[in-house]
Amino acid sequence: MAASRYRRFLRLCEEWPVEETKQQRDLGSFLRQRVAQAFREGENTPIPDPEACDQMYESLVRIHTNFYKNKYPRLKDTTFTGVTVENCRTVLATDILKQMEDRKKGTWKRLREKFSAKKPEEDLM
């Protein structure tokens, strides 16, 4: 039974899209890492709690297939603020978040980083 569970998780990982805009914060990448950790021995990995494993798989399938989005359709595709899904994706992209972090830095720190030969992380050591 471990082999079939392993194959199901692998199939789910293959189907799950990876968002390139969310580097190191993507659910698809995280899922792949967790499956690799959980099934270190591949099909021969012993599963201590098969019921919990099956429940986790079914939950992930519901997320992947948009089960609840389809079951409870929304009247509008915006939030209460009027922001659309596409706007949220744009704002949450890694590049935009890095730009926002750079804006939070003071002018002196930005200039120091720009003209410094070593990285700012090295200053802390």
Separation between Cα atoms, residue 6 and residue 38, nearest integer Å: 9
pLDDT at 120: 52
C-alpha neighbours within 13 Å on the C-beta side of residue 118: 6
The two three-digit tokens of residue 29, written as one number: 């990448």
| Closest to 7 in 3D by CA, of 68, 53, 63, 69 | 53
**Total tally of structural domains belonging to the chain:** 2
Please check whether residue 97 lies inside any domain of the structure: yes
pLDDT at 63: 94
pLDDT at 12: 93
- Residue 30, beta-bridge partner list: none
Instruction: State pLDDT tens for residues 5-60.
Output: 999 999 999 998 887 777 777 888 899 999 999 998 888 888 889 999 999 999 99
pLDDT at 17: 84
Whether residues 21 and 69 fall in one domain: yes
Q: Which domain holds residue 46?
A: 1-73
Whether residues 24 and 81 fall in one domain: no
pLDDT at 86: 80
Please check whether residue 122 lies inside any domain of the structure: no
pLDDT at 123: 53
Whether residues 59 and 104 fall in one domain: no
Q: Inform me whether the pLDDT recorded for 70 exceeds 80.
A: yes
Whether residues 80 and 64 fall in one domain: no
Spatial neighbors of 26 by CB under 8 A, at least 6 apart, are 18, 19
For the segment 63-80, the average pLDDT, to the nearest whole number, is 86
Please check whether residue 106 lies inside any domain of the structure: yes
